[in-house]
Amino acid sequence: MKWHILSLVLIAGIAQTSLAQSVRNATGIVVDAQRNLPLSGAHVLVLQGNEGVVTNSNGLFTLKLYPGEDTLIVRYPGFTTQRVPVQPDTMRIELIFEVGLDTVAVVTPETYEETYQIIRNERSLSRTPHVKRQLQPEHWNTEDYSPITENGERDALVSPLSTFSIDVDRASYSNVRRFLMNGQLPQADAVRVEEMINYFQYDYPVPGPDDPPFSVYTELADCPWNKERQLLHIGLQGKKAEREELPPSNLVFLMDVSGSMRDENKLPLAKQAIRLLVEQLKPEDRVAIAVYAGAAGLVLPSTPGTDKQAILNAIDKMEAGGSTAGGAGIQLAYQTAQEHFIDGGNNRVILTTDGDFNVGVSSDGGLTQLIEEKRKTGIFLSVLGFGMGNYKDNKLELLADKGNGNYAYIDNLEEAKKMFVEELPGTLYTIAKDVKIQLEFNPGVVRTYRLVGYENRLLNTEDFADDAKDAGELGAGHTVTALYELELAPARMGQADLRYQQMGLTKVARKGQELGFLQLRYKLPGEQESRLLATTIENRVAPPISDATADFRFAAAVAAFGMQLRHSPFNPKLGFSEIRRLAEEAIGSNPDGYRKEFLELVGRAERLIGE
């Protein structure tokens, strides 16, 4: 009898082992076929059984399969449902959008049952389908980017003046990096070329103690993506400051703790980033922490920098959950900053969010009006974006612009270190605000010009001298770079009442010794009237690109890379391999490693395109 029982046990054990050995995992990624973007929240089900999973924020899934289960059903609201044979390797499942269908879905994760309702008849070209979930709303891809129409060529005789605001934001570069590191090409409108260029620091002359807050540098060379054109490089270098020289800070961290922030690359990463900043605080600095979800609240009153542990403890206790009352949180943060305002100090609200405001004051108009009013009190707003899937880049960029602050996208802890450790003075301390650039081209030398990037920073000619017109801010030690693509022309005479077109004046310039006249307006942080800085740009013989400075060549390579990612018609010839070679030769000593990382991103894009 004992032998009989033992035999049954052995047989059962063998059967169980055999079954375990036959169980396997199916892994893959689900993407939008048209846009090449991951679909987070897509349902992957086993055709022969009841098992199923939901793709994560990167569109990835892993599903356990048992013997006989060899077909998957993959579905996502608004897309055609597919039956997919299981493959031994990681699968790439591309779903096709159903024209004319956009849906709201209510999902029960336990049974994967869905109820759909058509809510409009055509798909927006600027966003993925609008999907609203009852549970786990963070797992739907509703990323938003403002559309960009690239600057075209302008005739220097008809439109001699080019006017724009500076931009020190770097969010686009780190966001593009996030796409490429995840094996995807970015959406074209996620690529802002000026932010790609300005992600990097350049070695421009440093202004002296008695000089204006920034120096101005210009350089001319052949254009690498159009051999018949030249490239004008303009660089600003902000005064540098040691941390002990900086004024005290009154900071209010406004942290989004809504349900959409649960993912590891959202609130958990934001908490790590803020911890880095807290470690840099001086004794005279102050920090408060406000949070918002279904409602806003103050989790840490304004606390001196000497009590770092209390600040860190408050950060550690925060968890995500609830809806997103962003407007109420911003109001509370400004109120807290105002109550502890430091005259002559750095008074700033730092917002960490994915931008998914959906409760209270959430419209762009309502939020920007609120922020524009608050910035008049001397409290600036910096914005740190996190996550993917429901990221609202367009909203966050707008808030930072209106709040006289900077905008960054934090895709990993290294980016947080760059902002809050390596470049802390530039991140937090403004040395010049409302900085505007106006360049008048000499039509006797320049036939046409094109400003590379800065599409959403363009200003009207009259805005340059209008001190009520908002513009960008420059932080301590920051550099700003702008590029113009130029078509040169034989001498010609114009009749407009301008520097180069007024009869009988500036004869030296008419002979072609000046390429243009560069003017900059700026305000010191505590002032309301702008100051003027002006310089001429000599019409030098442009050297070949190989003889230009390393900074010139590297900035040109980054600009060309951005244009390639945008499928720009203005860069039809300089492909990824040529861009990589140009950048490789301009890396220099590269002590921080960011230029080498750029080469890796170019290589990833090249492999994705399949050049």
Question: Domain residues of the chain, as ranges?
Answer: 23-136, 154-241+431-609, 243-420
According to the per-residue pLDDT averaged within each range, which of 64-78, 222-236, 242-256 is highest?
A: 222-236
Mean of the pLDDT values across residues 156-167?
A: 94
Angle at 159 between CA 155 and CA 160, to 5 degrees: 95
Q: Tell the burial category of 261 from Cβ atoms under 10 Å away from its Cβ (0-12, 13-18, 19+).
A: buried
Q: Looking at per-residue confidence, does 28 or 128 come out higher?
A: 28
Reference 172, options 394, 10, 458; nearest CA is: 394
- Given a cut of 60, whether residue 497 has pLDDT beyond it is no
Mean of the pLDDT values across residues 108-114?
A: 35
Mean of the pLDDT values across residues 268-292?
A: 91
Reference 473, options 422, 419, 519, 436; nearest CA is: 436
Q: Looking at per-residue confidence, does 4 or 502 come out higher?
A: 502
Q: Tell me the CA distances in angstroms from 608 to 128, 171, 369, 563, one per residue in order.
A: 21, 22, 42, 16
What pLDDT score does 88 carry? Answer: 86
Count of C-beta atoms within a 10 Å radius of residue 345: 18
Mean of the pLDDT values across residues 189-203?
A: 96
Angle at 274 between CA 269 and CA 276, to 5 degrees: 100
Report the alpha-carbon distance of residue 302 to residue 475 in Å, rounded.
24
Tell me which H or E stretch contains 595. helix 594-609
Write the secondary structure of 245-284 as one string of H (helix), E (strand) and C (coil).
Answer: HCCCEEEEEEEECCHHHCCCCCHHHHHHHHHHHHHCCCCC
Per DSSP, the three-state class of 384 is: strand
Instruction: Count, in order, helices (H) and strands (E) of the chain.
Output: 14, 26
Q: 152 falls in which pLDDT band (50, 70, 90)?
A: very high
Tell me which H or E stretch contains 517. strand 514-523
Assigned token pair, 468 = 């009520």
Mean of the pLDDT values across residues 442-451?
A: 95
Could you identify the residue written with the tokens 């995992």? 25
Report the alpha-carbon distance of residue 39 to residue 96 in Å, rounded.
11
Report the alpha-carbon distance of residue 570 to residue 203 in Å, rounded.
27
With pLDDT > 90 as the criterion, what percentage of the chain qualifies? 47
Q: 573 falls in which pLDDT band (50, 70, 90)?
A: confident
Report the alpha-carbon distance of residue 211 to residue 218 in Å, rounded.
18
What pLDDT score does 107 carry? Answer: 31
Q: Tell me the CA distances in angstroms from 331 to 349, 379, 472, 586, one per residue in order.
A: 10, 12, 23, 46
Q: 505 falls in which pLDDT band (50, 70, 90)?
A: very low
Q: Are 248 and 346 in contact (CB under 8 A)?
A: yes
Question: Is pTM, for the whole model, over 0.85?
Answer: no
For 303-318, how does the pLDDT look when each residue is reduced to its tens digit (9 = 90+)? 999 999 999 999 988 8
Report the alpha-carbon distance of residue 158 to residue 561 in Å, rounded.
30
Reference 95, options 113, 118, 78, 119; nearest CA is: 78
List the alpha helices (DSSP H) in 500-590.
507-508, 550-565, 576-584
Could you identify the residue written with the tokens 């305000």? 523
- Given a cut of 80, whether residue 461 has pLDDT beyond it is yes
For 322-366, how does the pLDDT look when each residue is reduced to its tens digit (9 = 90+)? 655 566 778 888 999 999 999 989 999 999 988 876 544 444 556
Mean of the pLDDT values across residues 590-610?
A: 89
Mean of the pLDDT values across residues 140-169?
A: 90
Assigned token pair, 462 = 């009259």
What pLDDT score does 373 carry? Answer: 82
CATH for the stretch 243-420: 3.40.50.410
Q: 116 falls in which pLDDT band (50, 70, 90)?
A: very low
Q: 105 falls in which pLDDT band (50, 70, 90)?
A: very low
- Given a cut of 80, whether residue 278 has pLDDT beyond it is yes
Q: Tell the burial category of 90 from Cβ atoms under 10 Å away from its Cβ (0-12, 13-18, 19+).
A: exposed
Q: Are 591 and 551 in contact (CB under 8 A)?
A: no
According to the per-residue pLDDT averaged within each range, which of 123-132, 191-200, 247-256 is highest?
A: 191-200
What pLDDT score does 399 carry? Answer: 85
What pLDDT score does 214 carry? Answer: 96
- CA dihedral for 77, 82, 83, 85, sign (positive or negative): negative
Reference 61, options 83, 79, 38; nearest CA is: 38
- Given a cut of 90, whether residue 376 has pLDDT beyond it is no
With pLDDT > 70 as the criterion, what percentage of the chain qualifies? 81
- Given a cut of 60, whether residue 508 has pLDDT beyond it is no
What pLDDT score does 603 carry? Answer: 94
Report the alpha-carbon distance of residue 472 to residue 456 in Å, rounded.
12
What pLDDT score does 323 carry? Answer: 57
Q: Tell the burial category of 427 from Cβ atoms under 10 Å away from its Cβ (0-12, 13-18, 19+).
A: buried
Instruction: Identify the weakest region by mean pLDDT among 75-84, 220-229, 463-472, 495-504.
Output: 495-504
What pLDDT score does 299 carry? Answer: 87
What pLDDT score does 49 carry? Answer: 61
- Given a cut of 90, whether residue 525 has pLDDT beyond it is no
Instruction: Identify the weakest region by mean pLDDT among 75-84, 93-102, 369-378.
Output: 93-102
Mean of the pLDDT values across residues 223-232?
A: 95
Torsion of Cα atoms, 555 then 559 then 560 then 564, to 10°: 150
CATH for the stretch 23-136: 2.60.40.1120
Q: Looking at per-residue confidence, does 495 or 74 come out higher?
A: 74
What pLDDT score does 51 carry? Answer: 67
What pLDDT score does 420 carry? Answer: 87
Q: Check for a shared fold between 23-136 and 243-420.
A: no
Q: Looking at per-residue confidence, does 328 or 561 come out higher?
A: 561
What pLDDT score does 318 carry? Answer: 84
CATH architecture of 154-241+431-609: Sandwich (2.60)
- Given a cut of 50, whether residue 121 has pLDDT beyond it is no
Mean of the pLDDT values across residues 218-245?
A: 93
What pLDDT score does 469 carry? Answer: 93
Per DSSP, the three-state class of 127 is: strand
Report the alpha-carbon distance of residue 255 to residue 353 in Å, rounded.
7
Mean of the pLDDT values across residues 80-97?
A: 88
Mean of the pLDDT values across residues 487-499?
A: 61
Mean of the pLDDT values across residues 1-7?
A: 48
- Given a cut of 50, whether residue 234 has pLDDT beyond it is yes
Query: What is the average pLDDT value for the chain, to the nearest integer?
Result: 82
Mean of the pLDDT values across residues 124-150?
A: 54
Q: Looking at per-residue confidence, does 534 or 378 come out higher?
A: 534
